[in-house]
Chains A and B, each alone.
Chain A
């Protein structure tokens, strides 16, 4: 039964990733200016060279044919060549992935640490400055666009992952805080308090196990938020990561590059959400 569930989930992920790739390929194909190449305007190129340039992209005109040949190549590890950057997509992704991993990974870690710390402080000492600080900080960052946080990061000369952290933090904090507040109203917490258990012990042994499944689900969603935030952060902070690559690919109508980036982002988002679902399932079955 479990194996069947996993197989169905994996099939759904594969289907969505393939659809996402096809959708982006269709969008790029029908985007204005798709068929133009700056090199066609180069007066030093002969008519034959210009014709050869045009023909080199003729296989991209039929979206389905392009997508099928892309999938065939992808199965053999060939992801095509970027028109805009003139490099194999595989190499571009390999070179830039570590930057995004650091920006998103460290950003997520900091956001979660700050959110969890403030939510715990606010729950343990209610009506204390902790609650006010958490609400004010999350409220303020919730009101600032991701791109402004990226710009502020440039002006203040702080690392890009801090901007990602402050983009993810407010959503994480508010959800965690609400979960904790709800968990503290449960009868077994009142009973534990009546028996004289300390607040820290109640949090660790009685509140955290209750909220853990929802927190795991939130972790999956926060990966998606952080990946989305990586585009303005990497583009404005000049960080050569996948977010900046997506931005460049979209502006240049670079079909092979954008399809690969979309497939990669969809895959990571879906895997993060599915991983979170598996953890939720494990936690709930252990509870039962």
Chain B
């Protein structure tokens, strides 16, 4: 599966457009991480637990988007975008979407 956030793939022709595919993942941080973040708040610096959380939920959103694209027979996803929204207190949604296409 080729994934890119360009609108074209250099050197490849698009045979068929299959429309929008999307994947999302809602994650909450657990209390241990919260407490560590609270400590880090005094000292400043990177919150590694949250960086990891952000990374994990982004990976999961990408995987879900990929699964959806595979299910409709695409072999590439173009013009991928990421977006975040907070659905509830302390939980956040990471959302990935793109256009599924069939490349030559």
Tell whether A pairs with B. Answer: no
